[in-house]
Homo-oligomer: A and B are copies of this chain.
Amino acid sequence: MSRSHTQNCPVAASLNQLGDMWTLLVVRETLNGVTRFSQIQRNTGIAKNLLAERLATMVVDGLLERHDIGLTGVRHEYRLTPKGRALSPVMVAISQWGNAWLFDKGREPIALVHRKTGEALGPLRPSTTSGEVISWRDVLKIPGPGATASQRKHFASRKSTKE
Protein backbone atom coordinates (compact mmCIF):
# COMPACT_ATOMS: atom_id res chain seq x y z
CA MET A 1 0.00 0.00 0.00
CA SER A 2 1.39 3.37 -0.91
CA ARG A 3 -1.30 5.27 1.04
CA SER A 4 -4.39 4.77 3.15
CA HIS A 5 -7.94 5.53 2.10
CA THR A 6 -9.77 7.84 4.45
CA GLN A 7 -13.31 7.41 3.15
CA ASN A 8 -16.04 6.32 5.53
CA CYS A 9 -16.76 3.19 3.51
CA PRO A 10 -16.29 -0.49 4.35
CA VAL A 11 -14.80 -1.23 0.96
CA ALA A 12 -12.17 1.46 1.25
CA ALA A 13 -11.46 0.50 4.84
CA SER A 14 -11.06 -3.14 3.81
CA LEU A 15 -8.63 -2.15 1.10
CA ASN A 16 -6.43 -0.43 3.65
CA GLN A 17 -5.84 -3.85 5.12
CA LEU A 18 -6.31 -6.06 2.09
CA GLY A 19 -4.04 -4.33 -0.37
CA ASP A 20 -3.76 -1.60 -2.91
CA MET A 21 -6.95 -2.08 -4.84
CA TRP A 22 -7.73 1.15 -6.65
CA THR A 23 -9.25 -1.00 -9.33
CA LEU A 24 -12.01 -2.17 -7.03
CA LEU A 25 -12.78 1.41 -6.09
CA VAL A 26 -13.33 2.11 -9.78
CA VAL A 27 -15.54 -0.98 -9.92
CA ARG A 28 -17.47 0.36 -6.93
CA GLU A 29 -18.06 3.67 -8.70
CA THR A 30 -19.09 2.12 -12.00
CA LEU A 31 -21.42 -0.32 -10.22
CA ASN A 32 -22.93 2.77 -8.63
CA GLY A 33 -23.66 4.12 -12.08
CA VAL A 34 -20.83 6.64 -12.25
CA THR A 35 -19.38 6.78 -15.78
CA ARG A 36 -17.28 9.95 -16.06
CA PHE A 37 -13.57 10.35 -15.41
CA SER A 38 -14.04 13.51 -13.37
CA GLN A 39 -16.67 11.97 -11.13
CA ILE A 40 -14.75 8.73 -10.61
CA GLN A 41 -11.73 10.87 -9.81
CA ARG A 42 -13.69 12.96 -7.31
CA ASN A 43 -15.39 10.00 -5.61
CA THR A 44 -12.26 7.89 -5.23
CA GLY A 45 -9.59 10.52 -4.73
CA ILE A 46 -7.25 8.70 -7.11
CA ALA A 47 -4.63 10.99 -8.64
CA LYS A 48 -5.57 11.87 -12.20
CA ASN A 49 -2.53 10.33 -13.87
CA LEU A 50 -2.93 7.15 -11.85
CA LEU A 51 -6.65 6.96 -12.64
CA ALA A 52 -6.04 7.47 -16.35
CA GLU A 53 -3.51 4.66 -16.31
CA ARG A 54 -5.79 2.41 -14.26
CA LEU A 55 -8.83 3.00 -16.48
CA ALA A 56 -6.80 2.17 -19.58
CA THR A 57 -5.64 -1.07 -17.97
CA MET A 58 -9.20 -1.93 -16.99
CA VAL A 59 -10.33 -1.43 -20.58
CA VAL A 60 -7.52 -3.69 -21.83
CA ASP A 61 -8.42 -6.27 -19.19
CA GLY A 62 -12.03 -6.23 -20.34
CA LEU A 63 -13.51 -4.89 -17.11
CA LEU A 64 -14.61 -1.57 -18.60
CA GLU A 65 -15.69 -0.35 -22.00
CA ARG A 66 -14.90 3.18 -23.05
CA HIS A 67 -17.57 4.92 -25.09
CA ASP A 68 -17.11 8.19 -26.90
CA ILE A 69 -20.21 10.24 -26.16
CA GLY A 70 -18.82 13.52 -27.44
CA LEU A 71 -21.20 15.47 -29.65
CA THR A 72 -18.96 18.43 -30.31
CA GLY A 73 -15.70 17.04 -28.98
CA VAL A 74 -14.22 14.07 -27.16
CA ARG A 75 -16.13 12.94 -24.10
CA HIS A 76 -15.80 9.47 -22.68
CA GLU A 77 -17.97 7.29 -20.57
CA TYR A 78 -16.70 4.21 -18.80
CA ARG A 79 -19.13 1.34 -18.36
CA LEU A 80 -18.65 -2.05 -16.80
CA THR A 81 -18.57 -5.04 -19.10
CA PRO A 82 -20.31 -8.25 -18.00
CA LYS A 83 -16.92 -9.37 -16.71
CA GLY A 84 -16.62 -6.22 -14.64
CA ARG A 85 -20.19 -6.43 -13.43
CA ALA A 86 -19.54 -10.02 -12.35
CA LEU A 87 -17.38 -8.58 -9.57
CA SER A 88 -20.57 -7.83 -7.60
CA PRO A 89 -20.07 -10.84 -5.32
CA VAL A 90 -16.51 -9.71 -4.57
CA MET A 91 -17.69 -6.20 -3.79
CA VAL A 92 -20.55 -7.40 -1.59
CA ALA A 93 -18.26 -9.85 0.22
CA ILE A 94 -15.72 -7.08 0.87
CA SER A 95 -18.46 -4.67 1.93
CA GLN A 96 -19.95 -7.13 4.41
CA TRP A 97 -16.54 -8.02 5.82
CA GLY A 98 -15.63 -4.36 6.21
CA ASN A 99 -18.94 -3.55 7.89
CA ALA A 100 -18.60 -6.48 10.26
CA TRP A 101 -14.94 -6.17 11.23
CA LEU A 102 -13.80 -2.62 10.70
CA PHE A 103 -16.72 -0.64 12.15
CA ASP A 104 -18.44 -0.80 15.48
CA LYS A 105 -21.98 -2.11 15.62
CA GLY A 106 -24.29 0.70 14.63
CA ARG A 107 -21.50 2.62 12.87
CA GLU A 108 -21.61 0.78 9.53
CA PRO A 109 -21.28 3.32 6.68
CA ILE A 110 -23.48 1.41 4.25
CA ALA A 111 -26.22 -1.16 4.34
CA LEU A 112 -27.21 -3.66 1.68
CA VAL A 113 -30.90 -4.34 1.12
CA HIS A 114 -33.25 -6.02 -1.33
CA ARG A 115 -34.07 -3.36 -3.92
CA LYS A 116 -37.72 -4.39 -4.09
CA THR A 117 -38.63 -5.08 -0.46
CA GLY A 118 -36.01 -3.12 1.46
CA GLU A 119 -35.23 -6.19 3.54
CA ALA A 120 -31.63 -6.37 4.76
CA LEU A 121 -29.25 -8.79 3.13
CA GLY A 122 -27.90 -11.59 5.27
CA PRO A 123 -24.22 -12.53 5.24
CA LEU A 124 -23.27 -14.37 2.04
CA ARG A 125 -23.55 -18.13 2.40
CA PRO A 126 -22.30 -20.69 -0.09
CA SER A 127 -24.67 -23.21 -1.58
CA THR A 128 -24.26 -26.27 -3.75
CA THR A 129 -25.53 -26.44 -7.32
CA SER A 130 -28.61 -28.26 -6.05
CA GLY A 131 -29.33 -25.31 -3.75
CA GLU A 132 -28.24 -26.67 -0.38
CA VAL A 133 -26.92 -23.86 1.78
CA ILE A 134 -23.76 -24.92 3.60
CA SER A 135 -21.28 -23.33 6.00
CA TRP A 136 -18.02 -21.71 4.92
CA ARG A 137 -16.12 -24.40 6.80
CA ASP A 138 -17.68 -27.03 4.56
CA VAL A 139 -16.31 -25.43 1.40
CA LEU A 140 -13.50 -27.66 0.17
CA LYS A 141 -11.02 -26.60 -2.49
CA ILE A 142 -9.89 -29.34 -4.85
CA PRO A 143 -7.90 -29.32 -8.09
CA GLY A 144 -10.00 -28.21 -11.04
CA PRO A 145 -9.80 -29.57 -14.59
CA GLY A 146 -7.01 -27.13 -15.38
CA ALA A 147 -4.83 -27.94 -12.37
CA THR A 148 -1.22 -28.74 -13.15
CA ALA A 149 0.37 -32.05 -12.23
CA SER A 150 2.35 -30.36 -9.47
CA GLN A 151 -0.81 -28.74 -8.11
CA ARG A 152 -2.52 -32.14 -8.00
CA LYS A 153 0.46 -33.58 -6.19
CA HIS A 154 0.47 -30.63 -3.79
CA PHE A 155 -3.22 -31.13 -2.99
CA ALA A 156 -2.81 -34.86 -2.58
CA SER A 157 -0.05 -34.29 -0.03
CA ARG A 158 -2.24 -32.14 2.18
CA LYS A 159 -4.40 -33.58 4.93
CA SER A 160 -6.77 -30.66 4.95
CA THR A 161 -7.53 -28.24 2.14
CA LYS A 162 -9.88 -25.65 3.52
CA GLU A 163 -10.89 -22.67 1.43
Please, how many angstroms separate the alpha-carbon atoms of A117 and B140 in the complex?
Answer: 10
Q: Which B residues are in CB contact (< 8 Å) with A32?
A: 141, 158, 161-163
Q: Are A114 and B136 in contact (CB under 8 A)?
A: no
A126 to B92, CA, bound (A): 9
Q: Which residues of A contact B (CB under 8 A)?
A: 8, 15, 17-24, 31-33, 58, 61, 63, 83, 86-97, 99-101, 103-104, 106-117, 119-132, 134, 136-148, 151, 158-163
Query: Within the complex, which residue of B19, B120, B146 is in contact with A21, where a contact is CB–CB below 8 Å?
Result: B19
A146 and B86 in contact, given A22-B19, A141-B32, A161-B33 (Cβ under 8 angstroms)? no
CB–CB B139/A92 < 8 A: yes
Number of copies: 2
**CB-based nearest B residue for A146:** B107
- Do B88 and A163 touch (CB < 8 A)? yes
Q: Check A128 against B124 for contact (C-beta < 8 Å).
A: no
**CB-defined contacts of A83 to chain B, threshold 8 Å:** 101
For A113, the closest partner residue in chain B by CB is B140
- What is the CA–CA distance of A161 and B111 in the complex, to the nearest angstrom? 12
